[in-house]
Amino acid sequence: MNFLEERIVKDGVVKAGNILKVDSFLNHQMDMRLFRQMGEEFKRRFADKPINKILTIEASGIGIACVAAECFDVPVVFAKKSQSVNIDGDVYVSEVESFTHKRVNRVIVSKKFLGPEDHILIIDDFLANGCALQGLISIVDQAGGTVEGIGIAIEKGFQPGGAKIREMGYPLESLAIVESMDDATGTVVFRPQP
Ligand code: 5GP
């Protein structure tokens, strides 16, 4: 098991409805030493890519993306959730269905911060059905930029997002891939990784 898998086994809680709760170290209280390890691992896995910017989504991807950005020495842009119906022409817009909150959020990125010259690493905390990632990919496409890679902390491999994104041809690296989990026993089984 790698460092993140070990931490999930130690402190993660399996909830009903296919939810893995990791709020004691990842998306509420945040363990910065663990984040540093994740950032360095993303840097190692995407070492050959000409990444000049990291893109993530509000809110829980931001912490991991910031630490990763330090490792890559590049800026971070996060897609903002926007309630506004009057979106002006200065932003890229995409609709993202939230897995945990079961509602559709409109997310926006200012055109000032993303363009055709950008080589993007997309970072997020979880990958489930892939809606968040598809929204972010659409924003990079609208900007004419290049998605160089996608880095995820925890992929739930029994949900379809990972397979969909890999089929689309994107280099996707998930630090921990949960193959199955059981809320009755609390067990989590990981997909073996090279
Ligand atoms: P997707 O768009 O891939 O269906 O879901 C990804 C988003 O849903 C992530 O950004 C994350 O915030 C949230 N999410 C999905 N599954 C889980 C889960 O099991 N636990 C937690 N804490 N968040 C999740």
Hey, how many other C-beta atoms are within 10 angstroms of the C-beta on 56?
A: 26
20 labelled as ligand-binding? yes
Closest by alpha carbon to 60, among 33, 43, 78, 46? Answer: 78
Q: What is the arithmetic mean of pLDDT over 95-103?
A: 83
Among 61-65, 68-72, 79-83, 141-145, the least confident range: 79-83
The SS3 of residue 69 is helix
Ligand 1 centre to CA of 101 (Å) is: 9
Index of the ligand 1 atom closest to the CA of residue 97: 2
Average pLDDT, the chain: 95
21 labelled as ligand-binding? no
- Taking CB atoms within 8 Å and a gap of at least 24, the contacts of 88-97 are 92/139, 92/142, 92/143, 93/139, 94/135, 94/136, 94/138, 94/139, 94/142, 95/135, 96/57, 96/131, 96/132, 96/134, 96/135, 97/129, 97/131
- Output the pLDDT for position 73: 98
Pocket test for ligand 1, best of 19, 21, 94, 99 (most atoms within 8 A of CB): 99
27 labelled as ligand-binding? yes
> pLDDT class for 98, splitting at 50, 70, 90?
confident
Index of the ligand 1 atom closest to the CA of residue 18: 19
Alpha-carbon gap, residue 104 to 190, rounded angstroms:
30
Q: What is the pLDDT of residues 103-133, one digit of tens each?
A: 898 999 999 999 999 999 999 999 999 999 9
> pLDDT class for 172, splitting at 50, 70, 90?
very high
Query: Which residue has the least CA distance to atom 19 on ligand 1?
Result: 19
162 labelled as ligand-binding? no
Assembly ipTM: 0.95
Q: Is the pLDDT of residue 184 over 80?
A: yes
Pocket test for ligand 1, best of 30, 55, 125 (most atoms within 8 A of CB): 125
Report the amino acid identity of residue 81: K
- Output the pLDDT for position 85: 67
- Output the pLDDT for position 84: 73
| Whether the bond into 153 is cis, omega within 30 of 0 | no
Q: What domains can be seen in the chain, in order of their start residue? A: 3-181 (3.40.50.2020)
